[in-house]
Amino acid sequence: MTREEFSTHWFTKHAPLIVPFFLDLGVQHYEQVRSPLLSSQLCFSSVHLTRPKQIHGPLTTTSPTFTTLVSTYDGAAGMPSQSDLHNFPPPSLAKWKLAYYREVILVDERRFLVSEAMQHIHRVPPMTVDGERKVVIHDRKCLINVPESVLEVWRSYEAKGCAEEKET
């Protein structure tokens, strides 16, 4: 997978899949940062680095402490703070949401990342990764186009969950 293919898939295919899930969880902000360097910096609580199947980086950092780590990645995702993701997915997550996460989000992550994102997560302090920034969610509002087909899948999982709740 080329850097361009990775970036395109991550933003146009993967991001829309996680939008309804993240919004439902109350995620305030999610953005993607990728090389090449465009002099923008991350400015949120923590960073989740993502690694494509073929490494095309490097990302760059404002902190020499993280140069070796960050330079092996092609992208970084601004996500909730570490405490929010410590037990992810949360144990209280409804079964239908967990099913969506496992059957839709994780399946897609396995397509274009080295492994599921939570398996190779590395935290770095805010404002330490440089690159082009694409904001997906800001102030709990989606800033990208989410295709109706994605929303239909989300709603089908939700409907199945509601039906299962009524049966119990």
pLDDT tens for each residue of 29-64: 888 877 653 333 333 444 444 444 434 456 677 777
Q: Please report, rounded to a whole number, the percentage of residues in the chain having pLDDT higher than 90.
A: 32
pTM: 0.74
The predicted structure's pLDDT at residue 74: 62
* Residue ranges in the chain modelled with pLDDT below 50: 37-56, 82-83
The domain total for the chain is 1
User: How far is residue 17's CA from residue 111's CA, in Å, rounded to a whole number?
Assistant: 13
* Count of CA atoms in the C-beta half-sphere (13 A) of 28: 7
| Enclosing domain of residue 44 | 3-167
Closest by CA position to 75, among listed 7, 12, 5: 7
pLDDT tens for each residue of 22-35: 999 888 888 887 76
β-strands 75-79, 132-138 pairing: unpaired
User: How far is residue 96's CA from residue 137's CA, in Å, rounded to a whole number?
Assistant: 22
